[in-house]
Amino acid sequence: MTIIPSAANIIGVVVAQCLLIMNTQAEDASARVLPQGVSLFDATFYRYFPIEKRYGPDGDSEDLAADFNKDLNSQVFPALSGLNPLVGGNATLGQSVVESSLTSRWSEFNLAYGLTDKLTLVVKVPYGYVKNEIRSDLEASQANVGRNPLFGTPSDPFRSPLIPITAGGIRLSDEDIQNFLGNGLDLNRDGVTDIPGYGYKRFETFSDNGIGDVELYAKYQFYDQKPWRLALASGLRFPTGKVKDIDNLADLDFGDGQTDILFHFHTDYGVTENLQLNFTTRYDLQLPDRQTLRVPDSADQPITRNIEEVDRNLGDVLGLDLIGLYQFTPEWSGSLRYSFARKFQDDVDGDSGLPYSSLEQESESENQRVAVTFGYSTLQQHRDKMATVPFYANLTYRSRFAGKNTVASQYISLNIGVLF
């Protein structure tokens, strides 16, 4: 007599097989695919530690706000250059002192469906909250130019809103610098702008929340013979996330504003029954677009009045992941992950003859990360009919421990998934 297993039993076996790998690593880091007709809902919640450091162009650690801690001289504000001969060097308003601390909390929701036993469709939706806490001050003790108290009066011998401190100039305040970055300086308080500003919004703490760039891709498993399992994944990342406001120096991106084509190659290798290795190669092809941007004179001098809609081709991204996964018991597992990513240099061009290379400088980046994960699943309880719903949960600590032109960050994440 032939025994035909019930649909519930088949699904139970399928779920058990899937959970054996998925309870300790994210679905997109394995060559596994879902069986036909099986769905997976997966949610990950990331909580970043405060971010206050970054890796500079040479890989050295530096303050996150390093580019804003500047001598506010005629190189930063060209409007001061006419005063250089009067002070025998670079006219300066003083030293800016800026501290920045980022708070970031992200959630990522994945829905996957087994279209066939070899092909899985996945949609990934990120949603985040970010806060850039700004503390800024002006150290004016080193200033050699300041506000002309006689400007606009018949007794003003200079006929200039700014004059040397030695000639009676009054050092500017923090609020004066905010106005200089914004609509302009009204130095004699008569309601008329004496020095045009740069059009930036007030430089202060910024926070926002919203959706990131949504991904839609398919994963095809083309080989599954012990101890190897191989799969290819490809799809699109859409520009659904908010891009940075070019008039807000403290603003942060939720996306990069253009469409990416994604290519992933996954390799699983079973060393033993309990130990598995995974190697994943990722390549993100970033498509050209047009964006309205500010075009500074150089990458480390971000203050500029130059604004233009430019042709932009963001550098592609190459990523490598190596994961070692160990199943301690049927319920508990752990993994160690090393990741490397390299973003290539951007290509920017325009029609106005501006220094577009300033937007290409320091656009190339690298980062290296390690992550430790401990996972738990109800696999065994489900097999023993002691758990109604099979699920998995993972707790991860990740550190970005090296890089170039990227932030130094750490986070703790909680990942939960349910198959149905």
Task: Please state, for a pLDDT cut of 90, what percent of the chain lies above it.
Answer: 63
Q: Which CATH superfamily is domain 7-419 in?
A: monomeric porin ompg (2.40.160.40)
Each residue's pLDDT tens digit, 383-395? 676 767 778 899 9
Query: Quick one: pLDDT at residue 120?
Result: 95
Query: Quick one: pLDDT at residue 76?
Result: 83
Instruction: Examine the pLDDT at 293 and tell me if it is beyond 50.
Output: yes
Query: Quick one: pLDDT at residue 24?
Result: 37
Query: Beta strand pairing status for 365-377 and 317-327?
Result: unpaired
Query: Quick one: pLDDT at residue 6?
Result: 34
- Type of residue numbered 395: L
d(CA 296, CA 342): 25
Each residue's pLDDT tens digit, 172-193? 989 988 998 999 888 777 788 8
Sign of CA dihedral 175, 181, 183, 184: positive
User: Which of the two residues, 27 and 327, has the higher pLDDT score?
Assistant: 327
The domain spans of the chain are 7-419
Q: State the average pLDDT over residues 307-333.
A: 94
pTM of the model: 0.85
Query: Quick one: pLDDT at residue 12?
Result: 36
Q: State the average pLDDT over residues 253-279.
A: 94
Instruction: Examine the pLDDT at 21 and tell me if it is beyond 70.
Output: no
At a CB cut-off of 8 Å and minimum separation 6, what does 313 contact? 286, 287, 288, 289, 346, 347, 348
Average pLDDT, whole number, for the chain?
88
Query: Quick one: pLDDT at residue 331?
Result: 84
